[in-house]
Structure 1
Amino acid sequence: MASKLEELTTFLSKNNNAQLAIVAAAASVATLVTVFSIQGVQRKRRVRKLKEELGDFSDGIENMNQKFEPMLSSYDRDPSVSELFQKEYPNRIVDKKSVINLQSDEKELFSEQLARNKVFFGEEGLEKIMNSFVIVVGAGGVGSWAVMMLLRSGVQRIRIIDFDQVTLSSLNRHAVASRSDVGTPKTVVLQQYIQNIVPHALIDARVELFSIDNASELLSGNPDYVIDCIDNITTKLDLLKYCYDNNLRVISSMGSGMKSDPSRIQIADIGNTFEDPLSRSVRRQLKKMGIEQGIEVVYSTEKPGKVQLLPLSESQEESAEEFAVLPDFRVRIVPVLGKYLA
């Protein structure tokens, strides 16, 4: 062994190129180790900063419930908000048994309108779709697109539930809202727009905040499907738990913050999801409630890029609470995939 080391030493002492090669290799290894170490530290800092900005979904649900429950309850009791909208925009009660009366000429028009749907779904399939009743909870960047696609697919009985109004920041993702709709309830905007596409459609627009207290009334009518388009995790869990306990078929939209690849969108059971932080949080909380399988979700397997909350303007920073939809409610949210998920 000693003789081999001596031979190697002698060889290197006489060969400058070999010496340079070894030095270069050692320097490269040292550089790579340094770069990877720096990247690792930076990655940990970004993750830590992201967690600080977003909070811990998996462990903070109970605290969130305690924080938001009084606020949500006061919203339901506030006549200047919920009851006022209900008086201004009285809704039509729609359920599975609601009868749709069409004149012969309207039947002919609607049949032509769905001609391509009939080719795709078949006559029996389209008939089933046309006779269905679907409830969509949440009418924002996901829910509004879901409603429009249901309508254009042939669904004629839809209940839309959302307490919120259209804002300027809604216009980059809402399916139908325009500047003239700012300040109008999102459900009402959808209802009015739908009349121009399928005038005879029965749309039950509820300007209400979903909660476990009004779940039995809002989800009544024997729906064929409930579509969860809620962006508040506590309310989302309440909806999913209620649907599971009452054997209501539900499909839930999961997280898509900073994701942009529609080819990675999947439909799966909540128990089989991966690579999605919101799905993981929902899955953990449902497991605590005794639910491990049986809830269908739409989610993306794409790993999100660098995520940070949208910044507040200078005026918003001075009085941020004035820009919240509800007291103590979020003012800025993580950018999302929007219509692709719908």
Structure 2
Amino acid sequence: MLNQFSRTQLLLGKDGIERLQSARVAVFGIGGVGGYVCEALVRSGVSRFDLIDDDKVCLTNLNRQIIATRKTVGKYKAEVMRDRILEINPDAVVNIHKCFVLPENIDDFPFAEYDHVVDTVDTVSAKLALVTKCQSMGVPVISCMGAGNKLDGSQFRVADIYDTKVCPLARVMRYECRKRGVKSLKVVYSEEKPTRPLEDMSISCRTHCICQPGTKHKCTERRDIPGSVAFVPSVAGLLIAGEVVKDLISSPKNKEKKTYER
């Protein structure tokens, strides 16, 4: 019977679509990259999501984040993404966690129930907590490296963390993963040398903060505020979603999961 996934089924087959629909994917960070991950996954057939983000949509997000519109400014990103997912697939099951993942709360999430984890968070400590937790639980994870201060989306690559180059964040992650005995980690990274943002204080979040009252993690707390454009983080998000889909339809564990309770 013709349905919204019929065109995808022509490529992945009925069995592939069923595996995607039965899979549960956790996306940590619903921003410029994570939003496009969710967008592509739900349009591909993934029907069970955990969305983790404590941030709210800011006016400065409109330049790159798929969930950011004038109507959504000030709303929690996880809630906005949930509503968007349900508009695309009303049968989807979406759990939201309005919090920031930290080493201290990593055990609060049901990793044993996840078929795949996506890391698009900003901080190294959170990334390392996610990676080590997933690997200890045997859960597939893919991690996004730096997408800010870049202009060429064609230079993104999919690789093991130990095969990366150029990206400053990947360099730090290589070092920290090696210290923790992480033998392998699939990442999306860019080989473009980052540009230095213009020091224009008239448009700086550091001196003209417009975050909503009650915002927990403001740009003013960051050491550097990266520049961004619409056509770079979106590419990283779509590449990550493609890897997740391919992993899910080829996973022996997922082949056994044909149905689930809503």
Tell me which interval the TM-score lies in, with the shorter structure as reference length. 0.7 to 0.9
Are the structure 2 counterparts of residues 188 and 341 from structure 1 closer, same or farther at C-alpha, using a change threshold of 3 Å?
same
**1:333 partner letter:** I
CA shift digits 1:262-319 (9 cap, x unpaired)? 332211111111121111111111112222x321101112233x31266443796657
- 2:62 aligned to which of 165, 171, 178: 171
Alignment of 1:1-342 (within 5 A): 111-291=2-182, 293-304=183-194, 306-308=195-197, 311-313=200-202, 325-326=216-217, 329-330=221-222, 333-336=225-228, 337-342=232-237
Are the structure 2 counterparts of residues 320 and 219 from structure 1 closer, same or farther at C-alpha, using a change threshold of 3 Å?
same
Are the structure 2 counterparts of residues 283 and 315 from structure 1 closer, same or farther at C-alpha, using a change threshold of 3 Å?
closer
Q: Assess if the C-alpha contact under 8 Å between 2:145 and 2:187 holds in 1.
A: yes
Deviation at 1:245, TM superposition (A): 2.4
> Whose RCO is larger (CA < 8 A, sep 6+)?
2
Q: Which has the larger radius of gyration?
A: 1
CA shift digits 1:102-141 (9 cap, x unpaired)? xxxxxx5xx5211110011122222211211100000010
Are the structure 2 counterparts of residues 125 and 263 from structure 1 closer, same or farther at C-alpha, using a change threshold of 3 Å?
same
Number of equivalent positions: 231
Are the structure 2 counterparts of residues 124 and 275 from structure 1 closer, same or farther at C-alpha, using a change threshold of 3 Å?
same
Deviation at 1:199, TM superposition (A): 0.7
> Matched residue of 1:123: which SS?
helix
> Matched residue of 1:205: which SS?
strand
1:311 & 1:219 partners in 2: Cα distance? 43
Structure 1 unaligned runs (5+)? 1-107
Q: Assess if the C-alpha contact under 8 Å between 1:210 and 1:218 holds in 2.
A: no
**2:191 partner letter:** T
1:230 & 1:309 partners in 2: Cα distance? 24
CA shift digits 1:236-267 (9 cap, x unpaired)? 22211222222221000011333333332211
Are the structure 2 counterparts of residues 318 and 153 from structure 1 closer, same or farther at C-alpha, using a change threshold of 3 Å?
closer
2:193 & 2:205 partners in 1: Cα distance? 31
Q: Assess if the C-alpha contact under 8 Å between 1:255 and 1:277 holds in 2.
A: yes
RMSD over aligned Cα atoms:
2.5
Are the structure 2 counterparts of residues 119 and 289 from structure 1 closer, same or farther at C-alpha, using a change threshold of 3 Å?
same
CA shift digits 1:179-231 (9 cap, x unpaired)? 11111100000111222211110011111111122222224352111000101
> Matched residue of 1:195: which SS?
helix
CA shift digits 1:141-183 (9 cap, x unpaired)? 0111101110000000011000100010111111122111111
Q: Which has the higher helix share?
A: 1
